[in-house]
Amino acid sequence: HYAANTHGFVGADLESLARESAMNALRRIRPELDLESEEIDADVLESLQVSEGDFKEALKGIQPSAMREVFVEVPDVTWNDVGGLGDTKERLRETIQWPLDYPQVFETLDMEAAKGVLMYGPPGTGKTLLAKAVANEAESNFISIKGPELLNKYVGESEKGVREVFEKARSNAPTVIFFDEIDSIAGERGQRQGDSGVGERVVSQLLTELDGLEELEDVVVIATTNRPDLIDSALLRPGRLDRHVHVPVPDEDGRKKIFEVHTRDKPLADAVDLDWLASETEGYVGADIEAVTREASMAASREFINSVDPEEMDDTIGNVRISKEHFEHALEEINPSVTPETRERYEEIEEEFQQAE
Ligand code: ADP
């Protein structure tokens, strides 16, 4: 019961809640006690029982910390940190960065600036990275909200949460609002997490906010999903999340470019060939490639640290390299997250979604 009523509480909040519940119990059985200054007898403490009422009373006074703040950040990701995805970057640059950078062009040519973009593709393909890069390159602030978080963080007040996010975005404009995993709140009925009408209200609040955004008000929404076919279609209509950008599983050339990004500051042995790595990594998405590189670096560090006398480390550190064997080991450890079957399923979903557009 306690656990179910404390969404969004961190450890420290729970500690306060437990303390306050106990205080309430004490006040209840010994209203005459001055809890601030008086010693409490051991036998009183022993007989103390926290009731549901004490707990509920305490709950009224304690806000989960996760709920107190909508964080505005300025990301430091640039286009250079995103490997491949050339067309996708171009689309985002035109839809989001240009209206923010060159509003006069849009006004003069009477073009509608996008209010919202839906990015779709399997997890780990770089959607978050792209959103951060476009915000950074457009010199915008960035507010990131995860769909499930919105439901948990603002229990019973998710609509208010949405309103607060947009208010914060306006007062910090230009701002990119990033709604990650939007299907968890805006999926079609029945698909949402623990749906109890909350999804409905959140979607309707989102629609209100999107419709209320004035053009060129310098607030843009980017939402992501790996199930575009499940998004409430009202959200995808013109003037809302009406630009749809596919972030695909990388092909061989894409994978090579992602390896380039992740190895550019690392000492590689001559035998490590990025073409080879790209050809060995069918089905690996950007997040998997990052993991492979991290694992290979770890293997190199393990080998170096275990073989070198700590006294001589500074003199020999210049020789450390990530070898082909280290990458082979990493490829054994890290599996591709997209199997041919999953990939096929995604392609089907995407085709259906594109046809429905
Ligand atoms: P998504 O939002 O699509 O689930 P992310 O953008 O969070 O994926 O990617 C997770 C991590 O994987 C990134 O922080 C980055 O290190 C790596 N990654 C994913 N795609 C790329 C890419 N195209 N280029 C470089 N790194 C990538």
Q: What is the DSSP letter of 320?
A: -
C-beta 144 within 6 A of ligand 1 = no
Other CB atoms within 10 Å distance of the CB of residue 96: 28
Average pLDDT over residues 6-15: 79
Q: What is the pLDDT of residues 201-243, one digit of tens each?
A: 888 889 999 998 876 578 999 999 988 888 888 999 998 999 9
Q: What is the DSSP letter of 213?
A: P
For residues 119 and 222, the answer to whether their CB atoms sit within 8 Å is yes
Sequence-ordered list of residues with C-beta below 8 angstroms from that of 267, at least 6 positions apart, any chain = 320, 321, 322
The pTM for the full model equals 0.80
Is the pLDDT at 174 greater than 60? The verdict is: yes
Report in angstroms the alpha-carbon separations of 304 from 168, 311, 315, 317: 49, 13, 13, 8
Q: What is the DSSP letter of 105?
A: H
Closest C-alpha to ligand 1, atom 11: 287
Q: Nearest CA to 120 among 338, 281, 349? A: 349
Between CA 256 and CA 254 the distance in angstroms is 5
pLDDT value, residue 67: 53
For residues 180 and 224, the answer to whether their CB atoms sit within 8 Å is yes
Is the pLDDT at 351 greater than 60? The verdict is: yes
Supply the DSSP string of 247-311, one letter for each residue.
-PPP-HHHHHHHHHHHHTTS-B-TT--HHHHHHT-TT--HHHHHHHHHHHHHHHHHHHHHHS-GG
Give the ipTM of the model, two decimals please. 0.99
Pick from 17-21, 145-149, 331-335: least confident: 145-149
Is the pLDDT at 10 greater than 80? The verdict is: no
Which atom from ligand 1 is nearest to the alpha carbon of 132? 6
C-beta 258 within 6 A of ligand 1 = yes
